[in-house]
Amino acid sequence: MAMTGVLRPGHVQIRVLDLEESVHFYGDVMGLVETGRDSDGRVYFKCWDERDHHSLVLRESDQAGIDFFGFKVLDNTSLEQLEVRLKEHGVDTTRMPAGDLLETGERVRFDLPSGHVMELYAEKTAVGNGLPSMNPSPWNQASENGIAPVRLDHMLLYGPNIAENKKIFEDILDFFLVERVLSEGGDAEVALWLSCSHKVHDIAFVEHPEPGKLHHISFLMDSWEKVLRAGDIMSMNQVAVDIGPTRHGITRGCTIYAWDPSGNRFETFMGGYHPYPDYETITWTWDSFPQGLDYPQRKLHETFLTVVT
Ligand SMILES: [Fe+2]
């Protein structure tokens, strides 16, 4: 696949209640690599195998949740073209200045109909993964510290008007719909899994009355064994676990959901399949949603539908 335009989720800024407790959690328990702190007090992390400066930004606040998320685009020409297309479709954009996020170029920011703040950007300093680009070993010590996910993989966001979000992602940003869940009556889409790549999802939305909510940030693990090891580390550190280890029917991802110390849900996951844009969208009916969520247990976990930040 020749990837152009929007490449991948590049960063997410979340609010945490106690910064140093959260720095300990994401650094020592999750095993992310701290890469910087800025004059606003924000702390920056990356997963060990990510090349760019950061993928997770923590901001201390009295309320948990998500401030914004950003997708990296191929280059500045792509950024300008996508900004024009957004404006042509009636989406207001603003430019965030280079350096507002550490080591990051200008970002094109806009509001989604679901109440989330999204950004596109082309430039972020490549700091590498600690391995040489010539004759690298497959892993290093950073891949063994804590849970140590490979990368930020996707987010699931809750909010209203996801049908309008879908238009922006499909018609402007060139994502495709990989899977969906229909309402009880079958006449509306209540959950959407969208991809801009070969991944089973780069972002997902669930219809929900409150705008701008975070359901989870997902981190990719190398293997099912690494997901189980993540579960061991969660238990060793008294991390509050929501669901799993189990497998989703939807996306076929193998997963554990848990909460960070502020109550922001995160996922450690692996697996899924590799869709192409010409694949037919997979549809789940409402009565099969319990299997879609937890395939072995066929259980519609109450927390999945109700607990968001
Ligand atoms: Fe997920």
Q: How many domains does the chain have?
A: 2
Point out the catalytic residue in the list 154, 207, 208, 215: 154
Alpha-carbon span 210 to 301, nearest angstrom: 20
Q: How far apart are CA 121 and CA 76, in angstroms?
A: 8
Side chain identity, residue 76: N
Task: State pTM to two decimals.
Answer: 0.96
Structural domain including 212 reads 151-306
Looking at 116, 144, 172, the residue that finishes a domain is: 144
The answer on pLDDT for 108 being more than 60 is yes
Return residues with CB closer than 5 A to ligand 1 (ion): 218, 267
Model pLDDT for residues 192-236, shown as the tens digit of each residue: 999 999 999 999 999 999 999 999 999 999 999 999 999 999 999
High-pLDDT (> 70) share of the chain, %: 100
Same domain, 129 and 174: no
Region for residue 5 given its phi and psi (left: phi exceeds 0; alpha: psi -120 to 50; beta: otherwise): left
Structure tokens, 81:
């073209």
Domain boundary among 144, 159, 187: 144
- Tokens coding 58: 């923590």
Per-residue pLDDT band at 3 (split at 50, 70, 90): confident
Neighbours of 181 (CB within 10 A): 22
pLDDT beyond 70 at 124? yes
Q: What is the number of alpha carbons within 13 Å of residue 111 lying toward its C-beta? A: 9
Confidence of residue 142 (pLDDT cuts 50, 70, 90): confident
Q: Is the pLDDT of residue 2 over 80?
A: no
- Determine the distance separating the centroid of ligand 1 and the alpha carbon of 153, expressed in angstroms: 8
Instruction: Give the model confidence (pLDDT) of 170-197 as tens digits.
Output: 999 999 999 999 999 999 999 999 999 9
Q: Tell me whether residue 123 is one of the annotated catalytic residues.
A: no
How many residues can be counted in the chain? 309
Strands 117-121 and 189-195: unpaired
Whichever domain contains 238, its CATH number is 3.10.180.10
217 Cα: distance to centroid of ligand 1 (angstroms): 7
* Annotated catalytic residue, options 11, 116, 201, 215: 201
For residues 194 and 92, membership in a common domain is answered with: no
Residues 90 and 159 reside in one and the same domain = no
